[in-house]
Amino acid sequence: MVQNVCIPRHWLTAKMILLSKTKTSIVDINDTRPISLLPCFSKLYEKLFLVLFRQWISDNGFLPDEQTGFRPGHNMSTRIVSIVDQIGSGLALNTATAALFVDFKSAFNQLWIKGLWIKLKRLNCPIYIIAWLRKYLLGRSAFVELKGT
132 shares its domain with 93:
no
- The residue length of the chain stands at 149
Least confident stretch, 50-59, 64-73, 122-131: 64-73
Which bin fits 13, alpha (ψ -120 to 50), beta or left (φ > 0)?
beta
- The answer as to whether 117 is a domain residue is no
Q: What is the pLDDT of residues 127-149, one digit of tens each?
A: 999 999 998 888 889 998 877 55
48 shares its domain with 1:
yes
Contacts of 21 (CB under 8 A, 6+ apart): 31, 32, 33
29-44 average pLDDT score: 88
79 shares its domain with 102:
yes
Position 63 confidence tier, pLDDT thresholds 50, 70, 90? confident
Position 67 confidence tier, pLDDT thresholds 50, 70, 90? confident
Domain assignment of residue 82, given as a range: 64-107
Residue 119 confidence (pLDDT) above 90? yes
Predicted TM-score (pTM) of the model is: 0.69
The rounded distance, in Å, linking the Cα atoms of 59 and 133 is: 19
Q: What is the pLDDT of residues 71-118, one digit of tens each?
A: 777 787 888 888 899 999 999 999 988 888 777 776 667 778 889 999
68 shares its domain with 58:
no
Amino acid at site 39: P
pLDDT of residue 15: 94
- The answer as to whether 55 is a domain residue is yes
Q: What is the pLDDT of residues 4-22, one digit of tens each?
A: 778 888 999 999 988 888 7
